[in-house]
Amino acid sequence: MTIPEDRDVCMRPSPSAPEITVIIVSYNTCSLTIKAVETLLQSSPDLPMRIVVFDNASQDGSAQALSQSFPSVEVIANQENIGFAAANNRVAQTVTTPFICLLNPDTETHPNAIANLLAFAKMHPNAGIVGGRTVFPDGSLNPASAWRKITPWSLLCQILGLHRMFPQSNLFNSEAIGGWKRDSIREVDIVVGCFLLTSTELWKRLGGFDTRYFMYGEDADLCLRARALGFRPMITPDAQIMHLVGASTKKRADKVCAVMRAKATLIRDHWPSWLVPLGIAQLWFWGLTRRLGAFVAKTEEDRLRLTDIWRGRRTWLSGY
């Protein structure tokens, strides 16, 4: 069913009393979102779920197509793009199930992924926030399901390029937890919002996402705030999805600038005040390495991309 943006979403208890609400925020990803919902429904046929797709003013007919394809799924056809964070917050306000799961529209849920992640969350209440393992369409590891927090050391390694020279090193590629195949249960600093499950109680306690983070960083901020309360987010390999992130847009300058803007904000929000100037200076030096790299870029496309990142430094250094 399609729910207009100005109408309240009403939760009516179903006979099966779902324990979990799955929220998908879409924007011009019609075919991908249809596949995401299709595999979600197929993955855990015996698990009662409330599924809500919040469409951020797509121009590709996403809302209508989803409503026609999946009558049991709630589709909110918003009239403007309010961003990932605000969209999830808006749906979460209507949630009455004990758990909330965030799922990206460019994912395909593997068998029992949601059920296994829900069971894992119940077994590890001290985690607060849990996530699973993500792979690319060919089955290879997509490591972007979990991260460690930004530190002065991790930024230094990125400035010097050590994280690229030693990608499998947990020492030199610490943010990406280099060398870990996401094939074991592990405590992490950050569970990525592409596949994130938490209790509704904790979500409300945290106030949901900080909507200043319009694009990127909102999941890191949420997890770091949960850690500040004593929770320890975790990953389980028993809940797996396919996620396309990074497959086609990882080199775009605008995406890199958005990520750096989020990093600048995370530093200001979560580092001790006396360390913040160092962190911002490190981001500036990282940007300078992009500018210097443009002089030796192998292609014109790379040269322009690196130059654009440097030119946008004032915006991304200022954060949100």
Cα–Cα distance list, 184 to 78, 131, 268 (Å): 39, 12, 32
Alpha-carbon span 275 to 66, nearest angstrom: 47
Residue 174 sits in the same domain as residue 190: no
Residue 41 sits in the same domain as residue 172: no
Residue 268 lies in a domain: yes
State how many domains the chain has: 3
Question: Residue with structure tokens 């069913």?
Answer: 1
Residue 248 lies in a domain: no
pLDDT the model gives residue 251? 54
Residue 49 lies in a domain: yes
Residue 231 sits in the same domain as residue 168: no
pLDDT the model gives residue 214? 85
User: φ and ψ at 44, to 5 degrees?
Assistant: -135, 70
Q: Cα 3 to chain center, whole Å?
A: 25
Residue 94 sits in the same domain as residue 108: yes
Residue 89 sits in the same domain as residue 121: yes
Cα–Cα distance list, 9 to 84, 90, 94 (Å): 18, 10, 6
pLDDT the model gives residue 223? 98
- pLDDT digits 0-9 by tens, 230-271: 999 999 999 999 998 743 344 588 899 999 999 999 999 999
pTM of the predicted model as reported, rounded to 2 decimal places: 0.91
Residue 32 sits in the same domain as residue 169: no
CATH number at residue 27: 3.90.550.10
Range of the domain at 171: 151-179
Q: State which of 135, 160, 179 marks the end of a domain.
A: 179
Digit-by-digit pLDDT tens for the chain (320 residues) are 544 444 444 344 445 789 999 999 999 999 999 999 999 999 989 999 999 999 999 999 999 999 999 999 999 999 999 999 999 999 999 999 999 999 999 999 999 999 999 999 999 999 999 999 999 999 999 999 999 999 999 999 999 999 999 999 999 999 999 999 999 999 999 999 999 999 999 999 999 999 999 889 999 999 999 999 999 999 999 999 999 874 334 458 889 999 999 999 999 999 999 999 999 999 999 999 999 999 999 999 999 999 999 999 999 999 99
Residue 164 sits in the same domain as residue 45: no
Residue 67 sits in the same domain as residue 200: yes
How far apart, in Å, do the first and last CA atoms of the chain sit? 35
Residue 221 sits in the same domain as residue 289: no
Residue 125 sits in the same domain as residue 173: no
